Structure 1
Amino acid sequence: MDELSQDVYYWQVIHHLVKNIGMSAFLVKSEEKEIWLETTEDSSEGTTVIRILRHDMNWSNYIARDLENLAKDAEHVRKDLRSKRLHIINVYISSFLPVDSYERFLDHPVKTKNNRITIQSFILDGEHGYEQRVSKLSEVINCELPRLTQISHDPVGDIHQYRREVVAISDRKSKQERALFTYGKPVLTFLLLISVLIIFGFMEYYGSSTSLLTLVEFGAKYDPLIHQGEWWRFFTAVFLHIGIIHLVMNSIALYYLGGLVERIYGTPRFLLIYLIAGLFGSISSFAFNSQVSAGASGAIFGCFGAILFFGMIHRKLFFRTMGKNVIIILIINLSLGFLIPMIDNSAHIGGLVGGFLAASCIHLPRNKQWKLQMTSLLVMLGTVSGLLLFGFSTQEDTQQTHLINIQISQELLQRGEIEKAYPLLKAAVDSEVDIVEAHFLLAYSEAKLGYLIDAERNLLITIEQRPLLHEAHFNLSLVYYELRQYREAYLAVEKALELEPNMEEYIELKTTIEKVLEKQM
């Protein structure tokens, strides 16, 4: 068969596979003499690609060298496609067969050493059993290949025509793929960024974003108040951040991940994904973590979930573009959550699951799979219900909760809000929480409220547990002074001065008590 006829046939086969079968050309090499095609579906055994090479071979050693180089290229392709195994249908289109023995390269598929790549080769030369080889190849790729017909009067024109159509189809597919990433504009992403910055500014102005009391007042996830019916905290917590580093890290993640998800899904879908993922993250944190928590991390991990759903629908496009990086970043962030105790990984995992379920429920734009969507909706509702039931069934009165309440009470006392701090401290002490500061702070609040006998009792407990706490001795002296037990007051302040001799406040109190004692003598 002459070379020009085989050139025509080369493009005819590629044209047929691309136009009629729907395969995609993803790799072009050697001045368009070598083209790799991606099949439409993956099998359970791995990914299948077709590599077509137009080359006239005189000797079989060319095939040997080519297969060796092909195995190296195939490993890169396998990794790019993120496939465990890669099956290559390797087609040589040649004007003639090698003059020496070549059958050993075609009789059996060649496997690489790691058994992850299989290469099955065919030679189509237009002669010497050509029909039989085309039929076998058609059977392997599961589609009928065109036969070489009589060459037309304008073979060069045929080649150009086939090539133009292949390029046009490939360009059209590329535009369709790009359109998947440009459906929407990241308008809501910027609005969310602005909103969290404004709220952060208000928190810093009012108090401090690292203050537990400020966080609770602005709507952070705080289990005791959620148990009392403040369910709205599941949503408000998503817009708060604890410290500037937390804000900056989440803002950067929201800018990139949120923008990507909004471009893929559009603004209305992105809003639903963000809110549902944030809700899942907050509820998961409520169910498994009693700490005060806040932040957009759950919603941001929901963006990861939405991207993973996109990857499930468009698997090959996903791994050909961003898939590898997304999965690596996700694994790193989840691993950090398990390694660093202060990170609320329950919120991260909850947000990830929530984002995936939300995306599968609303699906991608211009896509409808009612069975999948309804199933996802039922799973989503069932998961939320289960997490809420578990969260509300857990014991609210825990050691961790009381520790948080003591920290909040201390901030309330610093503000002078004694009435708000007192019940929290009283509940902590009544539950016999093993925290010395609880008795000390409760005694302080009791003294301010006039419960002097109770204050005396809690200060004595504090001194018994922490005899070197000079503040406790000083406060006890003040209580005795108010109770007019001046001798006991004098002994207590002397002990405080013994522990901290340079405190002017202690010296002044001692002087005052001495004057009272002198008058009584």
Structure 2
Amino acid sequence: MLANHLFWKMMYYLVIQEDARIIEMSPDYKQIWLEYEGDGRKLAIRLARVEYHWMKDLEADIRTARKMFKRLKKIQPSRKWFFQNMYVSTYPPADQETKVGAEENDDSSQHYFIAEEPVREVTDSPSFVFRTLGMIEPWESVPEELTENEHEEAAGFYRKQVLIKKQQLDKQDRSLLIFGKPRLTYLLLAAIVFVFFAIEQAGGSTDLLTLIEFGAKYNPAILDGEWWRLFSSMFLHIGFLHIFMNSLALFYLGGAVERMYGTLRFSVIYLTAGLFGSLASFACNEQVSAGASGAIFGCFGALLYFGLIHRQLFFRTMGVNVLFILAINLVFGFVVPAVDNGAHIGGLAGGFLASAVVHLPKHRNKTRQLLILVATILCAGILYGYGVNNDNKSESVPLDLQLAQEYLEKDNIQEAEEILQDVLRHQENEQAYFLLGNVFIQENKYEQAAEQFREAISLDQEFLEAYYNLVIVSIELEEYAQAREYLATLKEKMKKAKDAEHLDVEKLEKFLAERTNT
């Protein structure tokens, strides 16, 4: 049929000569969506082989096509998207005089080609449409003297060429998306799980001292020369939920990136992203931290770099989902204080830069890669230098107090005392005085302990625990009158306090009574 001949000749021209890309094709090949870029414009072209008897059917089809175009714009966001909707039919609808056009602000147009009209109409109308698309084509007429079989043979030839081109492009896309196998991803997952169970056996993955012992990011230790913590920390995780979420993300994101870039390139991307994540955390966050999050965000960076190089393929396949998940994770990091968002952003930047350095397989630009390598090294140096000189982030009083508390609980008195003395050299802190008093109690230095508790009370008049310990110390020093005075003050303050149930005053009174009786 002449209509099929015209339909596939138009497809042949668009796909073979103008390099328009087929993005969707119906099983019967009668509705085909193409993507075309030219003259700074991005076009979605729909070519439909239809037979509508009435305009209402055509108008319904146009509405459906517009909805599809809107979905396409969401998948591939662009300010310069335009829509061309083309129909090829044997005969026009019976009531063709009804006007069919674009809706207001729709940026779309409809073109209807009637195969059985004179050849002049058949040839001139497509040429006009293609010129409006920014395409210049010496359109060859479809000879009307051909027999029906010859028309079908011509249509078959054009269809075969179009489908061959589509298969070639699909194969090329697959080669870009699947270059290697995710072997290193599985190895990393095994290493992370192994280390997690080792930490659980050693003292628990939520135990601060155990994490530091196994190589978590701890700023004072890094400043003392333990730079290896910048790498070791990416293999540690804090609690089951942390390792579960990161393992799941690594399985999917790491696997996708390793398939695209290959194992060697992926190893560079992963380690560089992990290093940048640790450096950013070192520079901006004083807390002990651990986890593969920085390296995993580096996988996001690698996917973004892939999207920069192959923008159309990126948005046709994963682009919107990647951007959406990345945005959610970044917002979550800013909203939840416990999340080390500095490590996330550092890993994202590190992964992007590392991807630009190693580039994609079968892509090479040595000059640009060398310049980006130099920029990457400079960025890493700047982050480390900022961390070294950022006094506000190199040490954390709350962290030091937490460490001292854990050392006390494990009877490591010397370590606890060193940390607390260092805190008090820099600033007065009631909690530090209180903990140091507990250190002196364990060393049987009751007079020094009493002095520390009094210092704590001078900073916080409502420090009930300090009063409680002062009663105990006064009893040990046999200063019973003072012990009774502190006890009376404690009981008076407890009447106003809301959270004092943990202080056993009756036990304290009994202890005082026993000592005074003896």
TM-score (norm 1): 0.84
Counterpart secondary structure, 2:436: helix
Q: Distance in 2 between matches of 1:280 and 1:142?
A: 47
1:78 is matched with: 73
1:270 is matched with: 266
* 1:333-375 residue CA offsets vs partner (Å, 9 max, x unmatched): 1111111111111111111111111112211111113354334
Q: Distance in 2 between matches of 1:477 and 1:68?
A: 83
* Equivalent residues of 1:474, 1:496 under 8 A apart: yes
Deviation (angstroms), 1:118: 2.5
1:227 is matched with: 223
Of the three residues 119, 136, 158, the one matched with 1:127 is 119
1:193 is matched with: 189
* Equivalent residues of 1:299, 1:351 under 8 A apart: yes
2:498 is matched with: none
Deviation (angstroms), 1:224: 1.5
Q: Distance in 1 between matches of 2:188 and 2:211?
A: 19
Q: Distance in 2 between matches of 1:61 and 1:263?
A: 49
Aligned residues: 499
Q: Distance in 1 between matches of 2:338 and 2:249?
A: 19
* 1:365-409 residue CA offsets vs partner (Å, 9 max, x unmatched): 1111335433432332232222222211111587x7121111111
Of the three residues 32, 36, 43, the one matched with 1:35 is 32
Task: Report matched runs for 1:39-188 at 5 Å.
Answer: 39=36, 41=37, 44-45=40-41, 47-55=42-50, 67-94=62-89, 111-113=102-104, 115=105, 117-119=107-109, 121=111, 123=113, 125=115, 127-128=119-120, 131-139=123-131, 140-144=133-137, 146-150=139-143, 151=146, 154-188=150-184
Matched to 1:268, the amino acid is: L
* Equivalent residues of 1:288, 1:391 under 8 A apart: yes
Query: Is 1:294 aligned with 2:287?
Result: no
Query: Is 1:323 aligned with 2:323?
Result: no
Q: 1:456 to 1:69 in 2, by over 3 A?
A: closer
Q: Distance in 1 between matches of 2:276 and 2:363?
A: 24
Q: 1:192 to 1:61 in 2, by over 3 A?
A: closer
Q: Distance in 2 between matches of 1:268 and 1:445?
A: 52
Matched to 1:492, the amino acid is: A
* 1:309-345 residue CA offsets vs partner (Å, 9 max, x unmatched): 1122222222222222222111111111111111111
Q: Distance in 1 between matches of 2:278 and 2:32?
A: 50
Q: 1:490 to 1:91 in 2, by over 3 A?
A: same
Q: Distance in 1 between matches of 2:299 and 2:352?
A: 8
CA RMSD of aligned residues (A): 3.3
Q: Distance in 2 between matches of 1:76 and 1:186?
A: 32
Q: Distance in 2 between matches of 1:42 and 1:274?
A: 37
Q: 1:235 to 1:455 in 2, by over 3 A?
A: same
Q: 1:98 to 1:228 in 2, by over 3 A?
A: same
Task: Report matched runs for 1:362-401 at 5 Å.
Answer: 362-395=358-391, 401=396
Query: Is 1:426 aligned with 2:417?
Result: no
* 1:274-301 residue CA offsets vs partner (Å, 9 max, x unmatched): 1111111111111111111111111111
Of the three residues 19, 22, 25, the one matched with 1:25 is 22
* Equivalent residues of 2:283, 2:393 under 8 A apart: no
Counterpart secondary structure, 1:177: helix
Deviation (angstroms), 1:426: 0.4
Counterpart secondary structure, 2:188: helix
Task: Report matched runs for 1:209-224 at 5 Å.
Answer: 209-224=205-220
* Equivalent residues of 1:86, 1:116 under 8 A apart: no
Q: 1:360 to 1:119 in 2, by over 3 A?
A: farther
Q: Distance in 2 between matches of 1:209 and 1:401?
A: 21
Q: Distance in 2 between matches of 1:167 and 1:286?
A: 54
Deviates more, 1:122-131 or 1:358-367: 122-131
* 1:133-181 residue CA offsets vs partner (Å, 9 max, x unmatched): 4443343342425412544773323322322222222122222222222
Q: 1:112 to 1:265 in 2, by over 3 A?
A: farther
Deviation (angstroms), 1:306: 1.0
Q: Distance in 2 between matches of 1:238 and 1:30?
A: 48
* Equivalent residues of 2:82, 2:108 under 8 A apart: yes
Q: Distance in 2 between matches of 1:410 and 1:76?
A: 57
Q: 1:367 to 1:129 in 2, by over 3 A?
A: same
Matched to 1:147, the amino acid is: E
1:518 is matched with: none
Q: 1:121 to 1:432 in 2, by over 3 A?
A: same
Matched to 1:390, the amino acid is: Y
Of the three residues 3, 7, 11, the one matched with 1:10 is 7
* Equivalent residues of 1:71, 1:117 under 8 A apart: no
Query: Is 1:462 aligned with 2:459?
Result: no
Q: 1:379 to 1:11 in 2, by over 3 A?
A: same
* Equivalent residues of 1:277, 1:351 under 8 A apart: yes
Deviates more, 1:406-415 or 1:17-26: 17-26
Deviation (angstroms), 1:59: 8.2
Counterpart secondary structure, 1:154: helix
Q: 1:69 to 1:446 in 2, by over 3 A?
A: closer
Matched to 1:26, the amino acid is: I
Q: Distance in 1 between matches of 2:103 and 2:472?
A: 85
Deviation (angstroms), 1:493: 7.9
Q: Distance in 2 between matches of 1:189 and 1:464?
A: 56
Deviation (angstroms), 1:83: 3.3
Q: 1:103 to 1:21 in 2, by over 3 A?
A: farther
Matched to 2:239, the amino acid is: G
Q: Distance in 1 between matches of 2:355 and 2:174?
A: 19
Q: Distance in 2 between matches of 1:192 and 1:137?
A: 55
2:236 is matched with: 240
* Equivalent residues of 1:124, 1:133 under 8 A apart: no
Q: 1:84 to 1:184 in 2, by over 3 A?
A: same
Task: Report matched runs for 1:436-447 at 5 Å.
Answer: 436-447=430-441
* Equivalent residues of 2:123, 2:142 under 8 A apart: no
Percent of aligned pairs with the same amino acid: 36
Matched to 2:277, the amino acid is: G
Counterpart secondary structure, 1:229: coil
Deviation (angstroms), 1:74: 2.2
Matched to 1:74, the amino acid is: F
